[in-house]
Amino acid sequence: MTRASESGTPIEPVYGPEALKDWDPRERLGQPGEYPYTRGVYASMYTGRPWTMRQYAGFGTAAESNARYKELIAHGTMGLSVAFDLPTQMGHDSDAPIAHGEVGKVGVAIDSIDDMRVLFDGIPLDRVSTSMTINAPAALLLLLYQLVAEEQGVDASKLTGTIQNDVLKEYIARGTYIFPPGPSLRLVADIFRYCRAEIPRWNTISISGYHMAEAGATPAQEIAFTLADGIEYVRTAVAAGMDVDDFAPRLSFFFVARTTILEEVAKFRAARRIWARVMREEFGAKNPKSLMLRFHTQTAGVQLTAQQPEVNLVRVAVQALGAVLGGTQSLHTNAYDEAIALPTDKSARLALRTQQVLAYETDVTATVDPFAGSYVVEAMTDDLETAILGLMRQIEDRGGAVAAIEQGFQKAEIERSAYRVARETDAGERVVVGVNRFALDEEEPYEPLRVDPAIEERQARRLARLRAERDGDAVAAALAALAAAARSDADNVLYPMREALRARATLGEVCNTLRDVWGAYEPSETF
Question: Is residue 113 assigned to a domain?
Answer: no
Kindly tell me if the per-residue pLDDT of 527 is higher than 60: no
- For residues 444 and 414, the model is more confident at 414
Torsion, CA 454, CA 457, CA 458, CA 459, rounded to 10: 120
Peptide bond connecting 36 to the previous residue in cis, omega within 30 degrees of 0: yes
- The answer to whether position 476 is within a domain reads yes
Whether residue 235 is found in the same domain as residue 315: yes
Same domain, 335 and 417: yes
Helix axes 472-487, 494-502, angle to 10 degrees: 170
Question: Do 466 and 355 share a structural domain?
Answer: no
Q: Are 38 and 296 in contact (CB under 8 A)?
A: no
Domain boundary among 407, 426, 445: 426
- When divided into structural domains, the chain yields a total of 2
Q: How many residues does the chain have?
A: 527
The Cα 298–Cα 467 span in angstroms is 38
Question: Which tens digits make up the pLDDT trace of 244-281?
Answer: 999 999 999 999 999 999 999 999 999 999 999 999 99
Backbone φ and ψ for 11, nearest 5 degrees, come out as -110, 115
At residue 1, the pLDDT reads 58
Give yes or no: residues 236 and 367 share one domain.
yes
What CA–CA distance (Å, rounded) separates 274 from 394? 16
Quick one: 244 and 336 in the same domain?
Answer: yes
Query: Residue 341: what pLDDT?
Result: 84
Q: Is residue 385 one of the residues assigned to a domain?
A: yes
Q: Tell whether 80 is covered by a domain.
A: no
3-state secondary structure of 79: strand
In a domain, 217, yes or no: yes
> What is the span of the domain harbouring residue 463?
458-518
Assess whether 329 and 387 both reside in one domain.
yes
Q: Is residue 240 part of a domain?
A: yes
What percent of the chain is helix, strand and coil (3-state, nearest 5)? 50, 10, 40
- In angstroms, rounded to a whole number, what is the distance separating the alpha carbons of residues 41 and 26? 16
CATH code where residue 156 lies: 3.20.20.240
**pLDDT, tens digit, 9 for 90 and up, residues 85-141:** 999 999 999 999 999 999 998 899 999 999 999 999 999 999 999 999 999 999 999
Is 526 a residue whose pLDDT tops 70?
Answer: no
**Phi, psi (5° rounding) for residue 299?**
-65, 160
pLDDT at 342: 81
Predicted confidence at residue 525, as pLDDT, reads 56
> What's the CA gap between 160 and 171, in Å, rounded?
28
Asked if the structure places residue 98 within a domain, the reply is no
Residue 314: partners with Cβ closer than 8 Å, 6 or more residues away? none
pLDDT above 70 coverage of the chain, percent:
99
Q: Specify whether 322 is located in the same domain as 370.
A: yes
336-361 pLDDT, tens digit per residue, is: 999 998 888 899 899 999 999 999 99
Asked whether the beta carbons of 207 and 230 are under 8 A apart, the reply is yes
Q: In terms of domains, do 489 and 415 share one?
A: no
307 shares a domain with 354: yes
- Residue ending a domain, among 402, 426, 450, is 426
- Are 399 and 514 in a shared domain? no
Verify that 218 and 301 share a domain, yes or no. yes
One domain for residues 247 and 311: yes
| Percent above pLDDT 90 for the chain | 87
Q: Assign 502 a pLDDT band (cuts: 50, 70, 90).
A: very high
Of 59 and 432, the structure prediction assigns the larger pLDDT to 432
Report whether pLDDT(364) > 90.
yes
Ramachandran bin of 102, using left for φ above 0, alpha for ψ from -120 to 50, beta for the remaining angles: alpha
d(CA 132, CA 425): 33
Domain final position from 426, 448, 469:
426
Strands 129-133 and 79-83: parallel
Which one has a higher pLDDT value, 40 or 454?
40
How confident is the model over 310-334, as a mean pLDDT?
97
Q: Is residue 326 part of a domain?
A: yes
Long-range contacts of 126-129 (CB under 8 A, 24+ apart): 126/152, 126/154, 126/155, 126/158, 126/159, 128/73, 128/79, 128/80, 129/52, 129/54, 129/78, 129/79, 129/80, 129/160, 129/161
CA distance 394 to 227: 13
Q: Is the pLDDT of residue 2 over 80?
A: no
- Using only C-alpha atoms, the chain has a radius of gyration, in whole angstroms, of 23
